[in-house]
């Protein structure tokens, strides 16, 4: 009403999986756009198969944040922290894999650990909070299980000392070093405030490691060389590539991924097109 939309243009129906399933299968729905897990996205894709309904899926991710030795280090640290600890990691495009060029590995990790010591856990509605609560007990258990797997597989964990509220589900900001590509924490979407750090020597190795995932939603590149940014962007298999920033969203730009991160785009003209039907109106000559 405040923006003077006609009644019925926007309808909000709240509910869990059964509600979404009913909407997806309803014959009056011609276009479905879903943001959520890859597992549910695949289920929706099966449901609409053969119906002629248009579908946009924005699913999970395991984004790589790639930091080269010439990167602005302090700026990169803030981008790394924002990339993985924003919204306590409950973001499909979270930069949960950090690829660091070997020559700057130690100074970057030292700075990153110092920055983690300043992060505050607390009420997500409090503007002074950096890391809020985990959204459910089930999700917290999944995070704890994957972190335990990381320790068992030989990665080295770091968690800063910080005050944890008494009520709610909480997990301290966490990072792992000594991570290999075979570790579960480097392969599976954790959906929590957990960062896995790997190293690389050459741009080619960085691309190989960044693309070694079934997902393809987003990526970040940190370097002072514009030519290297363009070189990486052409080779990274991600729908969104941020350069010397992270989690920078523009509603006029298309957002989305491919592989198991889904297909189609949200935002901008590319996001609007699937909702439209192109009609040709062709008339005969005047008599």
Q: How many Cα atoms are found within 13 Å in the side-chain-facing hemisphere of 28?
A: 2
Sign for the CA dihedral angle at 177, 179, 184, 190 comes to positive
| Cβ neighbourhood burial of 277 (10 Å; 0-12, 13-18, 19+) | exposed
Considering the candidates 4, 39, 58, 161, report the single residue annotated as catalytic: 58
Return the structure tokens found at 188.
């599976």
β-pairing, 174-177 vs 262-263, is unpaired
Instruction: Give the span between the Cα atoms of 178 and 156, in whole angstroms.
Output: 6
Most distant pair of Cα atoms in the chain: their distance: 85
Residue with tokens 């990526």: 219
**Given the residues 92, 93, 260, 266, the one annotated as active site:** 92
Counting every residue, how long is the chain? 287
162 is catalytic: no
Instruction: Point out the residues that are catalytic.
Output: 58, 92
């Amino acid at each position: 009403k405040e923006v003077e939309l006609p009644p019925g243009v926007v309808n909000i129906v709240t509910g869990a999986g059964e509600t979404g399933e009913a909407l997806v299968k309803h014959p009056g729905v011609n276009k479905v756009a879903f943001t959520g897990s890859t597992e549910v996205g695949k289920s929706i894709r099966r449901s609409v198969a053969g119906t002629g309904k248009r579908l946009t899926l924005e699913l999970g991710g395991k984004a790589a944040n790639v930091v080269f030795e010439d990167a602005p280090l302090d700026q990169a640290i803030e981008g790394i922290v924002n990339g993985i600890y924003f919204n306590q990691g409950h973001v499909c495009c979270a930069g949960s894999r950090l690829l660091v060029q070997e020559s700057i590995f130690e100074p970057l990790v030292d700075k990153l650990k110092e920055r983690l010591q300043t992060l505050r856990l607390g009420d997500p509605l409090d503007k002074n909070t950096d890391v809020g609560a985990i959204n459910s007990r089930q999700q917290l258990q999944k995070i704890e299980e994957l972190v335990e797997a990381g320790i068992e597989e030989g990665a080295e964990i770091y968690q800063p000392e910080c005050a944890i509220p008494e009520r709610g589900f909480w997990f301290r900001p966490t990072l792992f070093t000594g991570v290999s590509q075979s570790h579960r924490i480097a392969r599976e979407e954790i959906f929590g405030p957990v960062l896995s750090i790997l190293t690389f020597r050459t741009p080619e190795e960085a691309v190989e490691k960044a693309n070694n995932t079934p997902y393809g939603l987003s990526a970040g590149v940190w370097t002072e060389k514009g030519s290297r940014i363009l070189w990486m962007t052409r080779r990274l298999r991600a729908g969104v590539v941020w350069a010397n920033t992270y989690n920078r969203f523009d509603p006029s730009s298309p957002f989305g991924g491919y592989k198991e991160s889904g297909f189609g785009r949200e935002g901008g003209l590319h996001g609007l097109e699937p909702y439209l039907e192109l009609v040709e109106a062709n008339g005969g000559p005047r008599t």
